[in-house]
A and B are shown apart, each in its own frame.
Chain A
Amino acid sequence: MKISDSFKRSLWVFHFNSGSCNGCDIEIVGTLMPRYDPERFGIKLVGSPRHADVLLVTGPVVHAMADRLRRVYEQMPEPKVVISVGTCSQSGGVFFDSYNLDGPVSDIIPVDIYIPGCAPRPEAIIDGVVKAIAKLERLKGGEKHE
């Protein structure tokens, strides 16, 4: 895989919890710990979507979070990639078809990469981020967002 401009400049990630049980969020924190240390490649969490290349979404998207998720996605600069982390964010998981869901995530915003699991292991999250880098390379190369 070619090292892209976005990778050289560091891939900055914004984490959005749309109603998760925190299982996936704990795994994301585990991914950032020294055992895996993605920050040595410039991959790190940022505090604002305005600075982010990647939106990392956990949770099945409850009513209260749907508008907020939409707004956060719109505030991110182009090109951007959305990673859906965990079973809940992809199908609702154990909350499937629940009365208080607006999700899953793909019903609210376009998703590029799915990382399944309850909760997914850090290795799986890192694999998803590598796929996000490849996707950003293609987007920077002129490919249209699906």
Chain B
Amino acid sequence: MAFIETLSTGYGNWNPLFWTFAFVIALILGWIIWRSGESSYKRDTEQVKPYLSGNPEPEKGEVHIRAGNMYWGFTEALKGYYDILVPLHNGILTDYILWFLGVMAVMLIIVAGVF
């Protein structure tokens, strides 16, 4: 019956019977609290939804605060700059190559004086 003996580590004691007893007491307490709750509410109705001043509950994704919100002031202050730059980043590789060639051509004209 070694498995029910108390283990003393020098820093504390561990007894599986005591732990099981504490777990059962916690379960009973939880059950008593759950039983004292209001049981007459209607499931799958507005009664189980949060009160948001009478407004419908938005989708979870709509109320999620993204990392971008952390530097909202920065992007707002540089709005004019971002309004031009963001549409240019369209993700189309051929557009990027076109920009690269265009900028390179201009640089060659200015720096190297090709013509």
Contacts and interface: CB of A to CB of B under 8 A. Distances in A.
Interface bin, chain B: 10 to 19
Contacts, number: 31
Contacts of B56: 67, 71
A126 to B, nearest CB: 26
Interface bin, chain A: 10 to 19
Contacts of B90: none
A77 B41 contact: yes
Interface SS majority for chain A: helix
Of B38, B40, B51, which is in contact with the most chain A CB atoms at under 10 Å from its CB?
B51
A82 to B, nearest CB: 15
Contacts of A76: 47
Return the 5 tightest CB-CB contacts between A and B, nearest first.
Answer: A68-B54, A74-B46, A48-B51, A75-B46, A72-B54
5 contacts: A50-B47, A67-B54, A68-B55, A71-B56, A74-B46
